[in-house]
């Protein structure tokens, strides 16, 4: 794929990510085919405004598990923890820590006095992050490194607290200088519509929420205590 830039310390940056937006795709994020005409009109107008400037990016590394001991996971010498000891990472296993973002450019567009426009803009940012940046990155990994299927764990999910964001950023290198993402004092990523974690090869795709017993409002899938017994098996 085009647009791969080599950064410091072996990190790579994807900065030529195509963005395709249309009203039906955006409406799927709110699981609605009956959105009001006003919402459809706002989204259509915002797409025309956003497309010329939006610039999603991903920074990642091809890294190696240097220690796997129960809930401890060491990658390139950086130690993380997670909630799923049966993930069964292997020492020497190849993994892909990353940070993805919808980009700082779109943050210049703001509608503080228009709640509807701001709501629609937020929908578009979610689509750009998930359907453009993260999906493009996954396809890039599969094609470049000959991987069949990928799953991920991330800080604040199966990897526990968001405090581990700082270790992840340190592992990657100069994330802010490379793709514009920085951490707040509370370890939240800015721009807000950014994603981070560690991708690794699996036999079937799973959501990290399925492996995490913690209760939270942002769940994408219910906890499945039996799933981890099979998903790591490779044919």
Domain count, the chain: 1
The reported pTM is: 0.85
Q: Where are the beta strands (DSSP E) in 57-186?
A: 57-60, 63-69, 72-75, 78-81, 94-101, 150-153, 182-183
Separation CA 5–CA 161 (nearest Å): 30
pLDDT tens, the chain, 235 aa long: 457 888 778 899 999 999 999 888 888 776 655 568 888 899 999 999 999 999 999 999 999 999 988 788 999 999 998 877 667 788 999 999 999 999 999 999 999 899 999 999 999 999 999 999 999 999 999 999 999 899 888 897 778 788 999 999 999 999 999 999 999 999 999 999 999 999 999 876 666 666 666 665 555 667 676 665 555 444 3
Do residues 191 and 26 lie in contact, with contact meaning Cβ atoms separated by under 8 Å?
no
51 falls within a domain: yes
68 falls within a domain: yes
212 falls within a domain: no
224 falls within a domain: no
109 falls within a domain: yes
187 falls within a domain: yes
40 falls within a domain: yes
Separation CA 194–CA 25 (nearest Å): 19
Biggest distance spanned by C-alpha atoms of the chain: 55
CATH number for position 159: 3.40.109.40
107 falls within a domain: yes
First to last CA, the chain: 27
Domain limits for position 126 = 4-202
């Amino acid at each position: 794929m085009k647009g791969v830039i080599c950064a410091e310390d072996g990190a790579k940056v994807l900065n030529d990510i195509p963005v395709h937006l249309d009203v039906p795709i955006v409406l799927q994020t709110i699981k609605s085919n009956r959105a009001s005409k006003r919402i459809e009109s706002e989204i259509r107008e915002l797409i025309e405004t956003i497309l010329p400037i939006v610039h999603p990016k991903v920074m990642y590394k091809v890294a190696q598990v240097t220690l796997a001991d129960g809930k401890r996971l060491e990658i390139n010498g950086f130690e993380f923890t997670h909630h799923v000891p049966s993930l069964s990472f292997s020492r020497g296993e190849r993994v892909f820590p990353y940070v993805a973002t919808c980009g700082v450019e779109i943050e210049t567009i703001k509608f503080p006095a228009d709640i509807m426009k701001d709501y629609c803009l937020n929908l578009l940012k979610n689509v750009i992050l998930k359907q453009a940046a993260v999906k493009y990155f996954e396809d890039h990994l599969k094609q470049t490194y000959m991987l069949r299927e990928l799953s991920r764990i991330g800080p604040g999910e199966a990897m526990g607290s968001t405090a581990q964001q700082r270790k992840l950023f340190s592992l990657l290198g100069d994330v802010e200088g490379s793709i514009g993402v920085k951490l707040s004092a509370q370890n939240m990523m800015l721009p807000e519509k950014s994603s981070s974690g560690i991708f690794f090869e699996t036999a079937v795709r799973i959501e990290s929420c399925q492996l995490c017993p913690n209760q939270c409002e942002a769940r994408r899938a219910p906890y499945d205590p039996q799933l981890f017994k099979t998903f790591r098996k490779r044919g």
